[in-house]
Structure 1
Amino acid sequence: MAGITSDQRHSRQLASSLCHHISGLLGLRWELRGREHLEKNRACIIVANHQSSLDILGMFDLWPVMDKCTVVAKKEIFYAWPVGLAAWLCGLIFIDRMNSEKARSALNTATKEITEKKIKLWIFPEGTRHNTGEIHPFKKGAFHVAIRSQLPILPVVFSSYYFLSAEEKRFDSGHILVTTLPPISTEGLSTDNVEELIEKTRSAMSEVFHATSREIQQSLSVR
């Protein structure tokens, strides 16, 4: 993983602008809470729930707040254009979920630089997207990276995509609450604590996911 150059930063700003425009055309409004946790100039491992390729639009909507950030995403995202185009412009780290050794190597390569240059590393730990009203079990990779580098976990939660249904072939305009939770320290933890860290993170994210999803639904019902 090369350093974030001025050209890459320009590309990421361009991608952010492109995705913001796409969100506007689709009628999607992303509302950020916990901004103060996201804008701090520090290295951390961001973990976010994964419901759809629309997550990339939400992520890039937050890009001006995060500034120095890079992202690990499954290679299938590349083919979900125009979102995939924006991801490619930003130099996302695409991994092959079917090749765990290569995926692990990509994460290990990224770790040293994000620590030295205070870059945020964004990972979707569910791996496979699920728009089912739940946050599904997490894979361990992000948490091993966080513990090995002693970097905090920064949870980011997207409320439910109530406006999207593959079964009904429905895509409406929508309002999404994006909540950044306080960082979860990994200081002093070892690989023996991975499961505990995963459970702590997922539990906190699930609670916020259900609360913000209910809040959005209630606001719709009173309109």
Structure 2
Amino acid sequence: MLKLIRIIVVVFCCILICVLGTLYSLIRFKNPSNVGVMARWFGRLHPLFGLEVEHRFPPNADKVGRCIYIGNHQNNYDMVTISYMVMPRTVSVGKKSLIWVPFFGILYWASGNIFLDRENRTKAHSTMTELAERINRDDLSVWMFPEGTRSRGRGLLPFKTGAFYAAVAAGVPIVPVVCSSTHNQVDLNRWKNGKVICEILSPIDTSAYSKENVRDLAAHCHQIMSQRIAELDAEIHGQNQNS
């Protein structure tokens, strides 16, 4: 019964956010800060899933300037965990098919996000080049999930190079954003489903990299994020043992 009630309430809240968010975004059509506002709205739904989410923002989080944020992409619960970390003037890059998702697709478009045609590799590469130009021209940051798909308990998957190519081309840093593991953590029939920690890490300078060694940059970022996720998981495990 609890699961059914939760599903009904969550679906209602998501549709409401999408409808109101679309109206809000159409008034401020494709304003880069729309995305962060919408992400925070969705992020506030975490208590409906029985989750306690701690958001860790460094003191200078709003002073980084133009950059590319990269996050670990685990499952559908990212919507109420790591999404809350999206900063002002930050848009995301998502697959083109998102436009067809009922209610959400129109919100994703109107709020100013960027669509990527992953089936067309030439076009996707061109999109990364255009993305690098837009970052500086429009004074915005970009949020990407470099794994390219949800990991669903398989750990941090290998990174695709698009985000790193764009960062090098734009001359901006990479800012990793990590979320502790949530695989198999949520049981909708259980009142409390434990704690999740989301954290923005220190910017990674890309000035020493070029398109020739962009894979080295991707590997470096992967190692940093993988290590920090493991540390956050260990921290939560220790807290659970002491409680």
Deviation of the 1:109 alpha carbon = 1.9
Residue 233 of structure 2: aligned partner: 213
SS of residue matched to 1:35: coil
Q: Whole-Å Cα distance in 1 between the matches of residues 45 and 207 of structure 2? A: 39
Residue 186 of structure 1: aligned partner: 206
Q: Whole-Å Cα distance in 2 between the matches of residues 111 and 199 of structure 1? A: 20
TM (normalized to structure 2)?
Answer: 0.75
Relative distance call for 1:212 and 1:83 in structure 2 (3 A) is farther
Let me know the Cα RMSD of the aligned residues. 2.9
Deviation of the 1:126 alpha carbon = 0.4
Q: Whole-Å Cα distance in 2 between the matches of residues 129 and 182 of structure 1? A: 24
Unaligned runs of 5+ in 2: 1-26
Equivalent residue letter for 2:66: A
Residue 38 of structure 1: aligned partner: 61
Deviation of the 1:185 alpha carbon = 0.7
Residue 10 of structure 2: aligned partner: none
TM (normalized to structure 1)?
Answer: 0.81
1:27 aligns with 2:50: yes
Residue 122 of structure 1: aligned partner: 143
Deviation of the 1:11 alpha carbon = 4.6
List per-residue Cα deviations over 1:138-176 (Å, max 9, x = no partner): 0011111111111111111111004447xxxx4563422
SS of residue matched to 2:227: helix
SS of residue matched to 2:124: helix
Equivalent residue letter for 2:122: E
Is contact 2:82-2:198 (8 Å) kept?
Answer: no
Relative distance call for 1:17 and 1:34 in structure 2 (3 A) is closer
* 1:47 maps to which of 22, 45, 70: 70
SS of residue matched to 2:172: coil
Residue 124 of structure 2: aligned partner: 103
The structure with the larger Rg is: 2
* 1:200 maps to which of 210, 220, 237: 220
Q: Whole-Å Cα distance in 1 between the matches of residues 160 and 215 of structure 2? A: 10
Residue 177 of structure 2: aligned partner: 156
Aligned residues: 214
SS of residue matched to 1:94: strand
1:138 aligns with 2:159: yes
Relative distance call for 1:101 and 1:150 in structure 2 (3 A) is same
Percent identity between the aligned chains?
29
